[in-house]
Structure 1
Amino acid sequence: MALRVTQNMLNNNMLRNLHKSMLNMDKMQQQLASGVKINRPSDDPVVATRGMFYRSSLMENEQYKRNVNEALSWMDLTDKTLDEVGNVLKRISELLVYSGNGAASPDDLKTMGAEIEELRNHLGTLANQTINGKYIFAGTQTDKAPYDPTVNGGKGDFVNTNSSEVQLELSQNVFAAANINAQKIFNFPNNAGNMFKVLDNIIGELSGGRTASQFEDDIASQFDNLLAERATLGARVNRIQLIEERLNVQEVNVKELMSNNEDADMAQVITNLKTQEGVHRAALGAGARIIQPSLLDFLR
C-alpha cells in the first residue's frame, strides 16, 4: 500500500532538514571561533573524557615539578651551606698548623683561639640554616632549631637527634629525600666527639696559650667526612635533575596529545563550513520549489 505524501509532510521535512543544516553550520562556526572540536561534553563524550584525563595528568605533572623544584632548592641551599662549613674547617686547619709553629707566642695562640671561637659560633649559625622557615638540618623536626647556643655550659651544641628523611613525591610512586642526615655531619662520629666538641677542646688549648696542632687529624677527619656527604648529596641532585628533565618531556607529550584530541583542524573546519553553506543554499532553493503557490501568490 503506497503512502500518501501530503504537502504538509513535504513542508515539515524541508524545515527539519533546514534546521539540521543550520545546526551543522552553527557547530562548524563554533569550532572556527573557539579553535576546539567540542564546546560541551555532549558534543563528543569520548573526546571530553580523554580531555579530562589529559588535564588531570598535566595537573599531576605540575605538582611533581613543584616538588622537584622544592627538593632542588633544599639541596642547593644544603650544598652551599656545607661548602661554607668546609671553608670554616679549612681555616681552622690552617690555624692549627700555624699554632704548631714554635715562633707563635702565647698571645698569638690566644688570638687564634678567639678566631676559632668565632668560627665555631658561625658553624652553629650554619647548622641552623633555614629555607622557607624550615630548618634543613633538623630531619623531620623542621620547626625546631637543631643547634642550641645555650647548652654545653653556654658554649652551644648540636642537640638534634632526628635522622629521618623529608620525603617528596617527584613522580608517581617515586620518592626522594630533600634533606640530608645531618647527624652524619654535625654529630660525626658521635655527639660526644662531634665537630663542636672538638672545637671546644681546641679553643681550650689555644686560650691557655698552648698549641693545638694535635687536633689536626680530628679536623681532617671531619673535613673528609663532610666531602663524602657532599658527594652523596651531589649524586642525589643528579638523579632529581634527570627526573625534572623527564617531567618536562612528559608535559610536552601530554600537551601534544591534548591538542590532537581537542584542537580543531582549522583548514578542514573552513572547508567543511563552506561546503555546508553550499548545501544549505541548495536546500533553500529546493524548498522554495517544493512549497506550493498559495492564494496570495495569485493575488499579487
Structure 2
Amino acid sequence: MRVTQSMLNNNMLRNISNSYSNMDQYMDQLSSGKKINRPSDDPVVAMKGVSYRSALTKVEQFERNISEVHNWMDNSDETMDEANQALQRTRELIIQASNDTYEDNQRNNIGEEVEQLKEHLYDLANTKVNNKYIFNGTNTTEKRFNDDGTLKVDPPNNEAVMIEVSDGVKLQANVNPDNVFSKDMFDKLDEITQALEDPNTTGEDLDNYLSDIDGFSQGLINERADLGARMNRVEMVENRLGQQKVSTTKLLSDNEDADIEEVIMNLKMQESVHRASLAAGSRIIQPTLMDFLR
C-alpha cells in the first residue's frame, strides 16, 4: 500500500485529537472528582451509580421515618409519665381524705385538687405534637376529648399508627390510648370528686377507690413497658440503617469517585505523550514549494 503525505498528516491529526480528548477526560475527572461525568463515559458505572443512589435514598427516607417514630414515642412516654404522677397524687389525696377526722371543707379542698388533676389528665389526653393528636389512634387531626370531658367520637379511635422503618418492617409509633386515658378513668375521677364533696362519705368509702386508681395506674405502667420494648427495637433498626448508609455510601464512592493521585499521574503522562506527538508531527509535515515562495 502506498503511503502518502496526506495519510501521514491525517493520522497525525487524528492522534493529536485523541490526545486532546484524553487530556480533557482527565481534566474533567480532576475538576469533578468523579470517574464519569456522563453515562456514555462508562454505562456500567452509571447503572451501578443509579442503583446505589436509589438504595441510599431509601435508607435516608427510613431514617426520616425513624425520626418521626422517635418523636411519637418520646412524647408519648413523657406524657404517660406525667399522667402517672397525676394518678399517684390522686391516690395520695384519697388516702389523706379517708381520715375521718377531716372536716367537710377540708375534703372539699381535696376534691377541688382532684378536679384539677382530672382536668390536667384531659389536657394530657389531648396532647398535640407537630399538629397531630398522639392519643387518638389514627385520627390524628382531632383531639380525643371535648372541653367538657366527653369523647369527641364515640367509640374512640384506638387503632395503631404503623410507620415503615425498613424494607417490609413497620412499627407501631403510638400507644393504645384506651389503656392510658380511658373514659372509665375520667368517670371514676368524677365519682371521687363527688364523693369528696358529699358529707356522708366515710373514709372506708374513699378507700374503696384506691383499687380503681391502682388499676388505672397499672394499665398505664403496662403500656409504658410495651412502649419501652418498641423503643429498644427502634434503636436497633436505627443502628442497622446507619450501617447500611455507611456501606452504601462507600459502594457509591468506590464506584464513582476518581482516584485523584492516579488521575494526576495519568494527566502528566498524557501531557508528555501529547508533547511528543506534537514534536513528531512537526517532522512529519514536510516542507513544500510554498514554503520557499516569497
Range into which the TM-score falls when normalised by the shorter chain: over 0.9
1:90 aligns with one of 88, 91, 116: 88
Q: Tell me by how many angstroms 1:160 deviates.
A: 5.1
- Say what the alpha-carbon RMSD is for the aligned residues: 1.5
State how 1:137-148 maps to structure 2 within 5 Å.
137-148=135-146
Does residue 196 of structure 1 match 2:189?
A: no
2: distance between equivalents of 1:207 and 1:113? 7
2:107 aligns with one of 91, 106, 109: 109
Match of residue 261 from structure 2:
267
Instruction: Return closer, same or farther for 1:157/1:92 CA change in 2, 3 Å cut-off.
Output: farther
2: distance between equivalents of 1:274 and 1:134? 61
Match of residue 5 from structure 1:
3
2:282 aligns with one of 288, 291, 294: 288
Match of residue 163 from structure 2:
168
**Residue-pair matches, total:** 289
Secondary structure in structure 2 of the residue aligned to 1:101: coil
Match of residue 215 from structure 2:
221
1: distance between equivalents of 2:232 and 2:23? 55
Does residue 47 of structure 1 match 2:55?
A: no
Match of residue 76 from structure 1:
74
- Unmatched segments (≥5 aa) in structure 2: none
Q: Which amino acid in the other structure matches residue 145 of structure 1?
A: K
2: distance between equivalents of 1:32 and 1:185? 61
Secondary structure in structure 2 of the residue aligned to 1:252: helix
Conserved? CA contact 2:126–2:135, under 8 Å? yes
Match of residue 14 from structure 2:
16
Report the TM-score, using the length of structure 2 for normalisation: 0.94
2: distance between equivalents of 1:98 and 1:232? 32
Q: Tell me by how many angstroms 1:184 deviates.
A: 2.0
Q: After alignment, is 90-99 or 177-186 more displaced?
A: 177-186
State how 1:114-263 maps to structure 2 within 5 Å.
114-150=112-148, 156=150, 159=154, 161-187=156-182, 191=183, 194-209=184-199, 210=201, 211=203, 212-263=206-257
Q: Tell me by how many angstroms 1:296 deviates.
A: 3.5
Q: Tell me by how many angstroms 1:172 deviates.
A: 1.0
Conserved? CA contact 2:84–2:220, under 8 Å? yes
Q: Tell me by how many angstroms 1:103 deviates.
A: 2.2
2: distance between equivalents of 1:126 and 1:256? 45
Instruction: Report Cα offsets for 1:96-132 as digits up to 9, x if no partner.
Output: 1111112211111111111101111111111000111
Match of residue 59 from structure 1:
57
1: distance between equivalents of 2:208 and 2:227? 31
Instruction: Report Cα offsets for 1:175-205 as digits up to 9, x if no partner.
Output: 1111111122222xxx5xx211111111111
Conserved? CA contact 1:157–1:196, under 8 Å? no
Report the TM-score, using the length of structure 1 for normalisation: 0.92
1: distance between equivalents of 2:271 and 2:141? 69
Conserved? CA contact 2:80–2:180, under 8 Å? no
Instruction: Report Cα offsets for 1:265-284 as digits up to 9, x if no partner.
Output: 11111111111111111111
Instruction: Return closer, same or farther for 1:176/1:74 CA change in 2, 3 Å cut-off.
Output: same
1: distance between equivalents of 2:293 and 2:262? 48
Instruction: Report Cα offsets for 1:196-232 as digits up to 9, x if no partner.
Output: 1111111111011334222011101111111111000
Q: Tell me by how many angstroms 1:233 deviates.
A: 0.3
Aligned-pair identity in percent equals 47
Secondary structure in structure 2 of the residue aligned to 1:186: coil
- Unmatched segments (≥5 aa) in structure 1: none
1: distance between equivalents of 2:41 and 2:17? 17
Q: Which amino acid in the other structure matches residue 48 of structure 1?
A: A
Q: Which amino acid in the other structure matches residue 196 of structure 2?
A: L
2: distance between equivalents of 1:29 and 1:236? 52
2: distance between equivalents of 1:133 and 1:297? 85
